[in-house]
Amino acid sequence: MGRELLYRTAIGPKGQGYYLEKFSLLERRLYHRASWNWSAAIFGPFWIAHRRIGYHYSFILTFIVAFSTYWGWEQTGGGAAIALGLVSYIVLFPVAANILYFSVVKEYCAKTKDESSSEMVALVRDRFETVPDKVSRSRASR
Q: What's the rounded Cα separation, in Å, for the pair 98 and 33?
A: 10
Question: Which pLDDT score, from 0 to 100, does residue 38 have?
Answer: 93
Instruction: Name, in order, each residue with C-beta under 8 angstroms of 60's C-beta and a sequence gap of 6 or more.
Output: none
State the pTM of this model: 0.76
Instruction: Name, in order, each residue with C-beta under 8 angstroms of 124's C-beta and a sequence gap of 6 or more.
Output: 6, 9, 10, 108, 109, 112
Return mean pLDDT, the chain. Answer: 80
Reported as a pLDDT band with limits 50, 70 and 90, residue 133 is low
When mean pLDDT is compared over 50-59, 79-88, 99-108, the highest value belongs to 99-108
Question: Mean pLDDT across the stretch 123-128?
Answer: 82
Within 10 A of 35 (CB to CB), how many other CB atoms are there?
14
Question: Mean pLDDT across the stretch 41-66?
Answer: 80
Q: What is the DSSP string of the chain?
A: --HHHHHHHHH-STTHHHHHHHHHHHHTT---S----HHHHHHTHHHHHHTT--HHHHHHHHHHHHHHHHHHHHHHSSHHHHHHHHHIIIIIHHHHHHHHHHHHHHHHHHHTTTS-HHHHHHHHHHHH--HHHHHHHHHHT-
